[in-house]
Chain A
Amino acid sequence: MMTMSFRESSGWAMGGLMLAMAAWYFGRLGLAAWQPGGSLPVGMLIAYLFLTIAGSIIVQLLLAIINRREAASPADEREAAATARAVSWAGHLLTTCVVTALLWFIGHGDGMMLFHSLFAGLLASQALLHLGTAWLLRRGF
């Protein structure tokens, strides 16, 4: 039976955390911040960063306590290959988001929209990196 390894459970947990935090951030941001001339809610951005970092530490700590041995070991060849493939996917997604955001900026000149688009692309690529790694380890490749 294929149980869940440390790196797979870490991937699902971190990907879930990234998506949850992104939903929280953009949900709170609301439509107002996307309007031209809207100000950047710096406080919320700092709160997002703090909560994401704290959440990541807690998740990794809990998973490491559950599976101390694997957490202390370096990734083996299968885990490294899965991560490399997911990194490639995340890179493609981030590139697509950056180019799209820049093209939007050229057309509309909205710096705030550019910032939020790039930030969203960064969050999406990070979530894809973690979830993609976990999915590849579960599915096989």
Chain B
Amino acid sequence: MPPPPPIGNRVRDLREARGNISQAQLGDAIGVTRHTIIAIEQGKYSPSLESAFRIARFFGVGVEDVFSWHG
């Protein structure tokens, strides 16, 4: 396994807090596949800045409320 990227996220928490929105629904909303949402939640992939903003906007919060730097 590669070392996890130094970027944490609360995507899963936010999904669950918003009425258990599915990974597929979130993926459709921001233009990525369900598997990419899974990879983001598992810390296997750091999304592009554009997708990070789209995710934050989807949940109605700021980017730093979703993503955090652990470097």
Which residues does A use to contact B, with CB under 8 Å?
A: 2-3, 5, 8, 70, 73, 76-79, 137, 139-141
- Distance between Cα atoms of A140 and B48 in the complex (Å): 14
| Interfacial residues, chain B to chain A (CB-CB below 8 A) | 1-2, 31-36, 38-39, 42-45, 47-48, 51
CB neighbours of A76 from chain B (8 A) = 31-33, 36
Contact residues in B for A70 (Cβ distance below 8 Å): 33
The answer to whether A140 touches B32, judged by C-beta atoms less than 8 angstroms apart, is no
Question: Contacts A3-B35, A77-B51, A139-B44 given; 16 further ones with Cβ under 8 A?
Answer: A2-B35, A2-B38, A2-B39, A2-B44, A5-B35, A8-B35, A70-B33, A76-B36, A77-B36, A77-B48, A78-B36, A78-B39, A78-B45, A139-B1, A139-B2, A140-B43
Are A140 and B1 CB-contacts (below 8 A) given A2-B42, A77-B48, A78-B45? yes
8 Å CB contact of A141 from B2, B33, B34, B38: B2
